[in-house]
């Protein structure tokens, strides 16, 4: 009788433990992907704002800043895959942003108690800002197991960098974005 009870417990416990293993592994993989994606967009934002500020506020400098962001993002991987950004170039505003919601948005950061990012205004010294965002696909470590499909998942990250009046690029938290 005891053998039968032990066998029953094993039959019940193994699927539960395997499911728990899959969930914990995928959550850990997603956490790693988020950290790697955050590092990629932070590096891209910092490098782009430095490039833009040092090159001056010209169309050529804005193009170089965007390409710098793309290159820095691609140099970083998320679970083995490079982070890909679109340039978001276009004549829609003073900073050559095609869209205020693009993956790379150049703009002016002002402080009036809280930091505001304005994509359509040209920055003055100490106000150069670059906002980078990416949605990165992440596959499940298991794909399909026991008839159940896991993933794919996606991770959304964003970062904003300011070239401050002290002459250094730094990451900032924006409180509002102008439409």
pLDDT category at 6 given cuts 50, 70, 90 is: confident
Per-residue pLDDT reduced to its tens digit, 8-28: 888 889 988 988 888 899 899
Question: Backbone phi, then psi, for 111, in 5-degree steps?
Answer: -120, 120
| % of residues, the chain, pLDDT over 70 | 97
Rounded percentage of the chain residues whose pLDDT exceeds 90 = 65
130, 169 Cβ separation under 8 angstroms: no
Mean local confidence (pLDDT), 29-33: 94
pLDDT of residue 1: 59
Inter-residue contact 110 to 125 (CB < 8 Å) = no
The gap from C-alpha 111 to its chain's centroid, in whole angstroms, comes to: 24
For residues 118-147, average pLDDT: 88
As a whole number of angstroms, the distance between CA 159 and CA 125 comes to: 20
Q: What is the pLDDT of residues 67-125, one digit of tens each?
A: 999 999 999 999 999 999 999 999 878 899 999 999 999 999 998 788 999 999 999 88
């Amino acid at each position: 009788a005891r053998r039968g009870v032990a066998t029953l417990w094993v039959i019940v416990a193994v699927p539960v433990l395997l499911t728990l293993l899959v969930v914990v592994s995928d959550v850990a993989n997603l956490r790693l992907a988020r950290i790697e994606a955050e590092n990629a967009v932070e590096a891209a934002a910092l490098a782009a704002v430095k490039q833009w500020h040092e090159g001056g506020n010209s169309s050529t400098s804005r193009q170089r800043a965007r390409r710098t962001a793309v290159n820095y993002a691609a140099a970083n991987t998320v679970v083995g895959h490079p982070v890909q950004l679109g340039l978001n170039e276009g004549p829609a505003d003073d900073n050559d942003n095609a869209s205020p919601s693009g993956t790379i948005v150049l703009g002016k950061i002002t402080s009036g108690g809280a930091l505001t990012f304005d994509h359509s205004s040209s920055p003055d010294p100490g106000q150069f800002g670059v906002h980078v965002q990416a949605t990165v696909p992440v596959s499940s470590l298991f794909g399909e197991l026991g008839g159940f499909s896991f993933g794919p998942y996606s991770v959304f990250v964003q970062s904003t960098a300011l070239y401050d009046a002290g002459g250094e690029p730094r990451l900032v938290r924006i409180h509002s974005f102008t439409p």
